[in-house]
Structure 1
Amino acid sequence: MLKASVAIVILAAGRASRMGEGGKHKLLAEFDGVSLVRRTAMTAFGSDAASVVVVTGHRRREIEAALAGIDLTLVDNPDYAEGMASSLVAGVSSRHAHSADGILVMLADMPGISTAHLDALIVAFRNAGGQAVVRAVSRGKPGNPVILPRSLHPAILRLEGDVGARGIIATSGLPVLDVEIGDAACLDVDTPDDIGAAGGTIKN
């Protein structure tokens, strides 16, 4: 039996509006000398996923430059200012993601996520025959990333505004498998203080 294929879609298009004045971009902050967006992409690339797609938007050229040399697919979302839904739609619509059995939606600003975490989610998805939603949780609290089966593609493509897939998951009728990965599931960095607390250094 063929293993269910998973494409990772990394959402990296947002405006980082909570970083304050001065235009610093959280995804260009460095952790251990590597920009956060590159670190996230390398984590995804090291997993057992079939492909990695990164959705860009705000400061696209700098984000793309930070990803140079990694074998991934870049998708530009010109409508990024409308919110997260537009980036999800752009990512799911890309060729690699559209043909996969499941899409692992990964936020680019979660420095605690490891390749082992991603592989644990992918294993759970495959064990369910690709027919369940799989989500990372922290002590039972739903977090990210999540894997959405192909059957949810039409619902994702109808999303609008600054919403993710939570509503789709709640109404899908599909089994939802929780994978405990600890604090990393709920650790994102939205402010300069967040970045510092997580061990990062703001660059530009």
Structure 2
Amino acid sequence: MTKVLILIAAAGASTRMRGSDKLLEEIEGEPLLTRTARHAVATRAPVLATIPEGNERRHGALAGTGVEVQEIDASEGMAASLRAGATEARRIGAVGLMVHLADMPEIGTGDFSSLISAFLEDPDKILRATAASGKPGHPVLFPARLFPELARLSGDRGARAILAREQQIRNLALPGTRALTDLDTPEDWAAWRQRRETS
């Protein structure tokens, strides 16, 4: 079976939330992390979530969702999640790795599925979600040929160097600004909730 592994990168420290955890903020009665996992699993793709070592609350938010959970040393930054995702993608024989940032509340099952379908049309190229305007965002899908390089990354720059080097990145526009919307602070959350209430 052709597989794309969805990586939910959920190992950030939420340092800008001033004591609360952005991934446990509730949307329609469930934590964002639970909601994200549920939407990813609904695609029927394999899903891996990376969380910080010993974070029982995030572990609890993922319990029963069907997501594989891997605890990592989050002090290094994004590269630790990417290494875990690339290693697991290689292990299961995936043709692609979708990297999804867990603090993006507007990405849903339909978006994940559309990205997977578009990626499989040309699975040797990176596919990146954009806003409707064309501005690059997330998720990003990496082909299997880049798994060895992803598995060697270090530091908090993530895969920026790979994205900067690749000459033929394909884009898929998602509606509105959902590919750009991430919520890092209490003010971000308050403004986003206000927009939802008035829309």
Establish whether TM, by shorter chain, passes 0.5. yes
**Equivalent of 1:71, from 66, 69, 84?**
66
Matches within 5 A, 1:135-150: 135-138=128-131, 139-150=133-144
Q: CA deviation at 1:95?
A: 6.0
What is the deviation of 1:91? 2.4
TM-score computed with the length of structure 1 as normaliser: 0.88
Matched, 1:196 2:190: yes
Q: 1:59, CA displacement in angstroms?
A: 5.7
Structure 1: 4+ residue segments shifted above 6 A: none
Distance 1:69 1:37 in 2: 12
1:106-135 deviations in Å (ceiling 9; x for gaps): 11100010111111111111111x111111
Question: What residue number does 2:16 align with?
Answer: 18
**Alignment TM-score, normalising by the size of structure 2:** 0.90
1:12 shift after superposition = 0.5
What runs of 5+ residues in structure 1 fail to find an aligned partner? none
Q: Is 1:91–1:97's contact at 8 Å kept on the other side of the alignment?
A: no
Q: Is the 8 A contact 2:119 2:127 kept in 1?
A: yes
C-alpha distance in 1 between matches for 2:53 and 2:23: 11
1:9 aligns with 2:4: no
Distance across 2 between alignment mates of 1:186 and 1:8: 18
CA distance in 1, matches of 2:89, 2:4: 13
Q: Once the 2 structures are TM-superposed, how far is the Cα of residue 184 of structure 1 from its aligned partner?
A: 0.5
What is the Cα-based RMSD across aligned positions, in Å?
1.8
Q: Distance in 2 between matches of 1:18 and 1:103?
A: 28
Cα distance per residue 1:42-94 (max 9 Å; x no partner): 11111242x000001066211010111111111110x2111111121122223
Query: Which of 86, 106, 114 in structure 1 is aligned with 2:80?
Result: 86
Supply the distance in 2 between the matched residues of 1:97 and 1:120 (Cα, whole angstroms): 24
Question: 2:124 corresponds to which letter in structure 1?
Answer: Q
Q: Could you tell me which residue of structure 1 aligns to residue 197 of structure 2?
A: none
SS of 1:24's equivalent in the other structure is coil
Q: Name which of 26, 30, 43 aligns with 1:30.
A: 26
The AA in structure 2 aligned to 1:15 is A
Contact preservation (8 Å) 1:112, 1:187: yes
Q: Which residue of 1 aligns with 2:177?
A: 183
One-letter code aligned to 1:178: N
1:106 aligns with 2:100: yes
User: Residues 55 and 96 of structure 1: is their aligned pair in 2 closer, same or farther, counting only changes over 3 Å?
Assistant: farther
Q: Which has the higher contact order (CA 8 A, sep 6+)?
A: 1
What are structure 2's unaligned runs of at least 5 residues? 195-199
CA distance in 2, matches of 1:9, 1:84: 12
Indicate which of 149, 153, 177 corresponds to 1:155. Answer: 149
Residue 32 of structure 2 corresponds to residue 39 of structure 1: no
Q: 2:118 aligns with which of 113, 124, 127?
A: 124
